[in-house]
Amino acid sequence: MAIFEGFTDREVDQIKNTGTHVTLPADWSPIWEKTPADKAYIILSGEASVRREGEEIARLGAGDIFGEGAIVANKLRNASIVTLTKVELIHFTRDQVNQLRDEVPAFAEALDRTAKERLGQ
């Protein structure tokens, strides 16, 4: 899975065990544009659409993380996420994301890199 590439098995287990495993149906929106950064998700299976002002700008699948950019940048969300299929996810609160950033340096680096790429910095 993309977000876990280069991590040790111990780091992957710590990340997976910190969050809560959830299943969402198709056509569900777990994150909304212009709302506070209070959660992030890693997709284990399924597909989701990233939408800005209602227009799709990207698609996400297994191994992708979303919701992290606004947490890392401490800004409001710049896009909404809508599931296209049933998705299996790991849900993280803002506090859990920050805890993992402190405890797993490779996770912090991956989040920073992903957030910079997505925010065009």
pLDDT per position in the chain (121 positions), as tens?
578 888 999 999 999 999 999 999 999 999 999 999 999 999 999 999 999 999 999 999 999 999 988 888 888 999 999 999 999 999 999 999 999 999 999 999 888 888 777 766 4
Which pLDDT score, from 0 to 100, does residue 4 have? 86
pTM for the whole structure: 0.90
Identify the architecture of domain 2-119 in CATH.
Sandwich (2.60)
Which pLDDT score, from 0 to 100, does residue 5 have? 85
Which pLDDT score, from 0 to 100, does residue 113 have? 82
Which pLDDT score, from 0 to 100, does residue 73 have? 82
b/e map 65-75, b = 16+ CB within 10 Å: bbbbbbbbbee
Q: How many helices (H) and strands (E) does the chain have?
A: 4, 7
Q: How far is CA 106 from the centre of its chain?
A: 15
Q: Where are the alpha helices (DSSP H) in the chain?
A: 9-18, 68-73, 94-103, 105-119
Identify whether the C-beta of residue 81 lies closer than 8 Å to the C-beta of residue 69: no
Domain boundaries, the chain: 2-119
Q: How far apart are the first and last CA of the chain?
A: 24
Q: Could you give the CA distance from residue 51 to residue 19 in angstroms, rounded to a whole number?
A: 24
> What number of CA atoms fall less than 13 Å from residue 82's CA on the CB side?
12
